[in-house]
Amino acid sequence: MKREPAVCGQFYPATERLLREQIESMVDKDAVREKVLGVVSPHAGYIYSGPVAGSLFSHIEITDTVVILGPNHTGLGSTFSLYEKGSWTTPLGEVKIDEKLAADIKERCELIEGDEAAHSHEHSLEVQIPFMQYFKPDFKIVPIVVSNASHESYEMVGNAIAGAIKKSRRQVLIVASSDMTHYEPYELAKAKDKIAIDAILKLDEKQLLDNISKHDITMCGYIPTTIMLIASKALGAKSAKLIKYQTSGDISGDYSAVVGYAGVIVQ
């Protein structure tokens, strides 16, 4: 099964030339690339979140396989929906599914279901791929769309991902796709995002979940981020670092109701 782009021409340019040019304008050419276990990367239209994503991916080494975790914006599919087989396409080319790793992850956790419906119109995973293609044309992906469940469920999924990666004896990057606070005044959004980012930097997914609820933080990808942190710690993560933070207001000039974007690496 080949998944065609769902938001090409909306969230990012529809032609290879224009897409490559836009990404080129957003990457940090002076950045030193590091080996990392996981990242948090934004998923809005490139004009808004692209500078953060571009800076983030400039700082990391893209592995031969990348597990991409994204929130479910459409409501389609199962709670933990795995795209098991085939490939995804973007204007920069085709990316194959790592079917062996996908199958092992699914086998390790009964909560994970093979489900293409959740992926059919979901943008949060798709928009990550061109940035990685820009830096590494040949790699495979394991796409998983996740929805609200219990912390115990997130632990089961995260540990399944980590277990499969350990068994593969390869380094596999885990990308958690998330924007931060949505449509609040700049100063309030920035303050709320700091609370969430501080928990991520502590590698404390329980504190992140508590803070999301306690402070009403509208971070759409807190579940992917939680699962990424659990898996990364199981793989030996000891630290995290904020690469870049900004808001839509920094692009539009409208600070009355912004969306926050953060790029974080976990090592």
- Tokens representing 143? 């796409």
Q: What 8-state DSSP symbol labels residue 62?
A: P
Q: Report the pLDDT averaged over residues 128-140.
A: 98
Q: What is the pLDDT of residues 24-57, one digit of tens each?
A: 999 999 999 999 999 999 999 999 999 999 999 9
Q: What is the pLDDT of residues 195-210, one digit of tens each?
A: 999 999 999 999 999 9
Which of the four pLDDT bands, split at 50, 70 and 90, describes residue 141? Answer: very high
Q: Report the pLDDT averaged over residues 54-63.
A: 98
Domain count, the chain: 1
Percent of the chain predicted with pLDDT > 90 = 100
Instruction: Indicate if the alpha-carbon torsion angle 252, 6, 143, 157 is positive or negative.
Output: positive
Number of other residues whose CB lies within 10 A of the CB of residue 142? 27
CATH number for the domain spanning 27: value is: 3.40.830.10
Please, what is the average pLDDT of the chain?
98
Tokens 């009355």 correspond to 256
Q: Is the pLDDT of residue 261 over 90?
A: yes
Q: Which domain holds residue 214?
A: 2-266
Q: What pLDDT sits at residue 266?
A: 98
Which amino acid does the sequence have at 211?
Answer: N
Torsion of CA 222, 178, 122, 252, to 10 degrees: 140
Which of the four pLDDT bands, split at 50, 70 and 90, describes residue 1? Answer: confident
Q: What pLDDT sits at residue 52?
A: 98
Q: What pLDDT sits at residue 139?
A: 98
Q: What pLDDT sits at residue 260?
A: 98
